[in-house]
Amino acid sequence: MFGRFMPQEGRFFEFFNEHAQQIVDGSRELAAMMTQFDNLDRRAYSIETIEKKADKITHQTVELLHKTFITPLDRDAIHTLITTMDDILDLIEDVAHSIFLYDIKAVTPEANKLAEICVSCSEKVQAAVKLLPKTENAADLLVLCEEIDKLESDADHVMRAAMAKLFREEPNVLNIIKMKEIYELLETVTDKCEDVANILEGIVVENA
């Protein structure tokens, strides 16, 4: 009886999709920033604006979670998913700010490769999240999660090779410090995408 007077379902899937779009936008802007190096302050500000939009969506999702009596997914899963998605954009913003603050004028091909993998991971996160509302999409969603895992593994290999090359060939210690941080942040973006994939896999299994 009480449940009839409480909000049900809510806009959770819409919020997930809106947030995933911000992740894709942020990753693409970062990749462009790292290849063109024009107007770094403008691009960093653009990524910061995207991150703030995503923060707002996260807060709206958590607020709705507290107000909704019957949720379409487990409450902990909803909270963990949206906050982990938000972590992706926080890291993307960290990369952008590091490039701007360190006054980096060019990055290595390996850093660009990592940025490209970040874009691919983000796009697959978006595609996977879009499939979440319907149980008949479970198989396709799990395939996307496997692809995200593969991309994260690719990023690991790229970063290891990049680090080895950096310490062997870069004579400037300051540049080593700067690029080491950029590599690690970019690889952590893919780690967080993999975390999202793991959460989605758990949701699929729980609701199978």
Domain assignment present for 1: no
- Per-residue pLDDT, 55: 97
pLDDT of 41 reads 85
| 171 falls within a domain | yes
**CA of 205: how far to CAs of 80, 111, 200, in Å?**
16, 35, 9
Q: What is the model's pTM?
A: 0.93
Rg of the chain, C-alpha, whole Å: 19
Assess if residue 64 is contained within a domain: yes
Can you give the CATH number for the domain in which 179 is found? Answer: 1.20.58.220
> What integer pLDDT is reported at residue 146 of this predicted model?
98
- Distance from C-alpha of 116 to C-alpha of 148, rounded to nearest angstrom: 13
Domain count, the chain: 1
Give the bridge partners for 70, in sequence order: 8
Range of the domain at 186: 9-206
Residue 4 lies in a domain: no
What contacts 84, CB < 8 A, 6 or more positions away? 192, 195, 196, 199
The pLDDT of residue 180 is 96
pLDDT at res. 39: 80
> What are residue 180's phi and psi, to 5 degrees?
-60, -45
pLDDT truncated to tens, each residue of the chain (208 aa)?
A: 233 333 446 699 999 999 999 999 999 999 999 998 878 888 899 999 999 999 999 999 999 999 888 898 999 999 999 999 999 999 999 999 999 889 888 899 999 999 999 999 999 999 999 999 988 899 999 999 999 999 999 999 999 999 999 999 999 999 999 999 999 999 999 999 999 999 999 999 888 7
- Residue 134 confidence (pLDDT): 87
CB 83 within 8 A of CB 58: yes
How high is the pLDDT of residue 37?
Answer: 80
- Asked if residue 24 is part of any domain, the answer here is yes
Residue 2 in domain: no
Q: Is residue 159 one of the residues assigned to a domain?
A: yes
Contact at 8 Å (CB) between 20 and 130? Answer: yes
149 found inside a domain: yes
